[in-house]
Amino acid sequence: PSSTTRLPDGDLAVGGVPLTEAARRFGTPVYLLDEAEVRARCRAYRDAFPDADVHYAAKAFLCRALVRWIDEEGLGLDVCSAGELELAVAAGFDPRRILLHGNAKSPRDLDSALRLGVGRIVIDSPSEIARLAALVGPHGRQKVMVRVVPGVSAGGHEKIRTGTDGQKFGLSLTDGSAQHAIARILGQPQLELTGLHCHIGSQITGVRPYLAALRRVVGLMARVRDAHGVALPELDMGGGHGIAYRPGDPALDLTTLARRLRAELVESCAVAGLTVPRLLIEPGRAVAGPAGVALYRVLAVKDTGGRTFVAVDGGMSDNPRPALYGVRYAPRLVGRRPDAAVRPTTVVGRHCEAGDILADGVPLPADIRPGDLLAVPVAGAYQLSMASGYNLVGRPPVAAVREGEARLLVRRESLEDVQRRDVGV
Ligand code: LLP
């Protein structure tokens, strides 16, 4: 599942750059992003979904270079804050190909969206409707979609399941709140409803939940047509496509998803007598995740209480996913031959919390020692984008690797940076 390759001397390489060299040049921890891998994943989406608009979900990870790659590969963007939106536009992205999401859009979010001219704003609550209409003003018109909750449960962890009633996102399809919001939007001349949106969850590895959600949302589109005489031209099925974090983990197959979604869309529209809407999707993790590698240095090794602990110089402040969702990674040691003798090892971070565990009982070379480099593949999504300032260690830098060359994209957050924001006495 990773773009790391083992070199004959035991070193690992990403994008043709040996990890020892990357560590020397950028220090550790550092995140490496394989540009060719990101681009290949964008292209795989374009190939699998030739008739759809693919929007990369910026929350997975965003920086200027990535914005440019996404742009050059012909994808749109899904953002959920003024911060993501303004970075993308500053990097030259066409705002008309950007969708704004969010269950609690701030005045700044909406102001940026309208000022910069985002393509679509996805309404998540009824109170947004009048608020947005007032901001648009009497002469303008903003394209919007409505996020509906189809009542389908899916996703890799309870905290990332968003397809059923009882969680905070969207408006229920079953209790009528989605229908109610749709009616109100249709009564607002400042808003143009282009379609419906749903995002049922993240790290989903099967296609069935998508098909079930699609059927229900198309059913709602038919009811909208019956009630209001309006044929909505767009259907956004969100993201959530699951990837393998460890060898052998299940992953969602893109071509299968594309084929089955298209077939289901055509069939359910035929049954409902609807013109087939344009399909939109919003993958985040599946574009960026496998293209990233986190590189750490081992700071301590100890055998105690019946376990071997290896502690590295990063952890839950750059990757909160194990602590939040209990997920486990498959770290690889740099500088050992593949036939090195291994033993079960628990890889932990440097943070003052016992839950700061990256990998539990994974086989790592028995002679692992302080100073070694440890690579964590599949680190490109929801790690740095969810990084925190815990323990004031500073956030790691990001470098792009491509054809044997590395270049810095985001610099390390220094301890001076950390202190600079603290302006009180
Ligand atoms: N569209 C919407 C409206 C979303 O809320 C999300 C993710 C996506 C698209 C992209 O989903 P993806 O294709 O990346 O699964 N922090 C969690 C994942 C949270 C996902 C939030 N929304 C994790 O690390 O697993």
pLDDT of residue 338: 82
pLDDT of residue 375: 98
Neighbours of 163 (CB within 10 A): 27
282 close to ligand 1 (CB < 6 Angstrom): yes
Ligand 1 centroid vs 201 CA: distance in angstroms?
A: 7
pLDDT of residue 392: 97
Does 3 have pLDDT greater than 80?
Answer: no
Residue 352 annotated in active site: yes
pLDDT of residue 364: 97
pLDDT of residue 321: 97
60 close to ligand 1 (CB < 6 Angstrom): yes
Pick from 16-30, 332-346, 374-388: least confident: 332-346
pLDDT of residue 158: 87
382 close to ligand 1 (CB < 6 Angstrom): yes
Of the residues 63, 80, 198, 352, only one is catalytic, namely: 352
Q: Which of 123, 92, 95, 83 is nearest to 236 (CA)?
A: 123
Lookup: tokens for 158:
């309870």
Q: What is the ipTM of this complex?
A: 0.99
Which residue carries 């992205």 as its tokens? 93
- Which residues are part of a known binding site for substrate? 285, 321, 325, 353, 382
Residue 192, SS3 per DSSP: strand
* pLDDT tens per residue, range 159-183: 889 999 999 999 999 999 999 999 9
Ligand 1 centroid vs 183 CA: distance in angstroms?
A: 28
* pLDDT tens per residue, range 323-352: 999 998 999 999 998 889 999 999 999 999
- The arithmetic mean of pLDDT across residues 238-262, rounded, is 97
* pLDDT tens per residue, range 137-160: 888 999 999 999 999 988 888 888
As a whole number, the mean pLDDT across the chain is 96
* pLDDT tens per residue, range 87-108: 999 999 999 999 999 999 999 9
161 close to ligand 1 (CB < 6 Angstrom): no
User: What is the band of 2 on the pLDDT scale with cuts at 50, 70, 90?
Assistant: low
Peptide bond into 29 cis (omega under 30): yes
State pTM to two decimals: 0.97
Does 415 have pLDDT greater than 50?
Answer: yes
Phi, psi of 220 (to 5 degrees): -65, -40
Alpha-carbon span 69 to 367, nearest angstrom: 40
Count Cα atoms within 13 angstroms, Cβ side, for 419: 4
Ligand 1 centroid vs 336 CA: distance in angstroms?
A: 35
CB 53 within 8 A of CB 277: no
Q: How far is CA 418 from the centre of its chain?
A: 26
101 close to ligand 1 (CB < 6 Angstrom): yes
Q: Domains of the chain by range and CATH?
A: 4-32+290-420 (2.40.37.10), 34-288 (3.20.20.10)
- Which residues are part of a known binding site for pyridoxal 5'-phosphate? 240, 282-285, 382
Ligand 1 atom with the smallest distance to the CA of 101 is: 3
CB 95 within 8 A of CB 118: yes
pLDDT of residue 1: 39
Residue 115, SS3 per DSSP: helix
Does 421 have pLDDT greater than 80?
Answer: yes
